[in-house]
Amino acid sequence: MQIFLDTADVEDIRTYAAWGVIDGVTTNPSLIAKSGRIFEDVIAEICGIVDGPVSAEVTALDADGMLAQAEPLAALHPNVIIKVPLIPEGLKATKELTRRGVKTNVTLCFSANQALLAAKAGATYVSPFIGRLDDQGERGMALIEDIVRAYRNYPAFGTQVLVASVRTGEHVREAALAGAHVATIPPAILDEMVRHDLTDSGLAAFLADWKNARTAADS
């Protein structure tokens, strides 16, 4: 499973990209707005840090507007993925962008039926938001399982399942077991994933043993 970093903080992206485990980045206008920087400048800088897909979201709600916004974004770098909402106009835009050879990430997916429509429109990725379903009292990961199973029934679908709205490391584990192609993860979740008490205690014991062995050798 690929791991994308879900942030627009360039310094965070540099830090976690250095781990060697980041395959791409997802952003949205809200995340970039918080930085106070120009949207296109941030996307271009991220593309220079991570050699993988970088999702850049359009804000228009009509297909023509989405296509107009997508054109300069796609021109920034070959790795830019145009992120569009899962609405009828978004499907229209996705179909046309796919025809033009532009990769897309159809976002705000909350049902398997929506995911089927995204695949039919030629989406490169579909982003089901599992955390928001959990907030509604549903089991968001059940949606991932349904979409993965449905897509496997139709090998001609090239759309990849990108698990979004990830809230815990458990979400990542379940996404991997379900066979999702990608999980986009906030930095805090990556920090959670890399830590384990037994790793810390084991390392501390190893270093203590090493120090004692060196002290004994020097005495």
* Confidence class for position 104, pLDDT limits 50, 70, 90: very high
pLDDT of residue 216: 66
Among the residue ranges 9-13, 39-43, 180-184, 203-207, the one predicted with the least confidence is 203-207
In this structure, is the dihedral angle defined by the CA atoms of residues 189, 176, 164 and 167, taken in order, positive or negative? negative
Single pTM value for the model: 0.91
* Confidence class for position 92, pLDDT limits 50, 70, 90: very high
Higher pLDDT, 205 or 187: 187
Percentage of the chain surpassing pLDDT 90?
83
What domains appear along the chain, each with residue ranges and CATH number? 2-218 (3.20.20.70)
Q: Give the pLDDT confidence of 18-31 residue by residue, as tens digits.
A: 999 999 999 988 87
Q: Please, what is the average pLDDT of the chain?
A: 94
Q: Which residues are catalytic?
A: 83
